[in-house]
Structure 1
């Protein structure tokens, strides 16, 4: 199944360029030009990942990120990659602390954007742990460390922490 991406970005030319590049790379792509239509698109057809601009004409991208990350179900919560002209280190820190899975300042290289999208989706973002209809139960293992995201548990050598 093709992974679906939603870009919430007010620059239509940039969105068209990114959309074409990502479609050629095998992703489904939808564009929303403002926060309200982005939130509506999220409701209508939840994507695997949202590419989010912070400076939108009708609402702050940080507020959109808060709403996405505040959804009740982990399985319905898409990953968020912030793609914005706000590249100051403090802006990056705030974006990541609000809940973004990654942050890429503009201007950017399309290949780097693609690599970051792949990395976030590979890590699972929020949506990668399985689907609500009984998808895979994901446990990450690093040596003797086990992290069960669904059960929200951590254990070392089989002993709960």
Structure 2
């Protein structure tokens, strides 16, 4: 059985590949999106245990995707969201929190730290 089903929306191909491989090695099922609009398309059609969004993506930012996720009927409206970002300013954190982001992780980050965070969040979300 898979450890969890994760949507990974990241426009940087190398980082998306690294995270996908790391998470698959831990038993997670990964659906990849290259931009914010692809992420929304996935969120409308599939159910995820966790959503990982990059802040700066083409089409829609991670924060815009999260705002959409929390405000529109979809099967993932309650799913935890991790926002990956190079933006470390307090105003960016506040905007992310207001959008409904669960966890804010500043790049560069340790993939092992991310794995721990994901594991904790998925365990908390399971009944």
> Same fold judged by TM-score > 0.5?
yes
Counterparts of 1:27-106 in structure 2, within 5 Å, are: 27-72=28-73, 77-106=78-107
CA contact (8 A) 1:5 1:49 kept: yes
Unmatched segments (≥5 aa) in structure 1: 130-161
Q: Deviations over 1:68-104 (max 9, x none)?
A: 1124478753211001111223212321232111010
Which structure has the bigger radius of gyration? 1
CA contact (8 A) 1:50 1:78 kept: yes
State the match for 1:20 in structure 2. 21
**Relative to structure 1, is the Cα distance of residues 31 and 73 closer, same or farther in structure 2, using a 3 angstrom cutoff?**
closer
* Cα RMSD, aligned residues only: 1.8
Count of residue correspondences: 126
Displacement of 1:44 in angstroms is 2.1
Q: Deviations over 1:114-161 (max 9, x none)?
A: 11111222222xxx45xxxxxxxxxxxxxxxxxxxxxxxxxxxxxxxx
Task: Give, in whole Å, the separation in 2 of the partners of 1:99 and 1:76.
Answer: 10
More helix by percentage: 2
**Which aligned runs of 4 or more in structure 1 are off by greater than 6 angstroms?**
none
**Relative to structure 1, is the Cα distance of residues 32 and 75 closer, same or farther in structure 2, using a 3 angstrom cutoff?**
closer
Unmatched segments (≥5 aa) in structure 2: none
CA contact (8 A) 2:53 2:83 kept: yes
**Relative to structure 1, is the Cα distance of residues 53 and 118 closer, same or farther in structure 2, using a 3 angstrom cutoff?**
same
**Relative to structure 1, is the Cα distance of residues 75 and 38 closer, same or farther in structure 2, using a 3 angstrom cutoff?**
closer
Higher relative contact order (CA 8 A, sep 6+): 2
CA contact (8 A) 2:80 2:121 kept: yes
